[in-house]
Amino acid sequence: MTIGDYIRNQRMKKALELIETGTYSILQTALFVGYSNLNHFSAAFKKFYGHLPSYYVPRYGELKNNFAAGEKSKSPPKRALF
């Protein structure tokens, strides 16, 4: 595995983690993991996982259950260092 592959793997794992929480938008996630172009992020994400990022966004019922369990909305995370 090259260093580029390693960095890409880390970025995509973090992106999936943030998207699945339902707290951050796909745009916020793309910016956080270092993509300034949403189209490039979506293409890279689809190549890595086989689905667009929107496939992993929790639906309304799932979000409603998370908030009922006491989760609160968060501000976007600070920008990644890579």
Average confidence (pLDDT) over 45-51: 96
CATH 1.10.10.60 fits 3-68, yes or no: yes
- What is the full DSSP assignment across 19-70? HHHTSS-HHHHHHHTT-S-HHHHHHHHHHHHSS-GGGGSPPHHHHHHHHHTT
Average confidence (pLDDT) over 16-24: 94
Domain ranges of the chain: 3-68
Percent of the chain with pLDDT over 90: 68
Average confidence (pLDDT) over 43-70: 79
Supply the pLDDT for residue 48.
96
Q: Is the pTM of this model over 0.75?
A: no
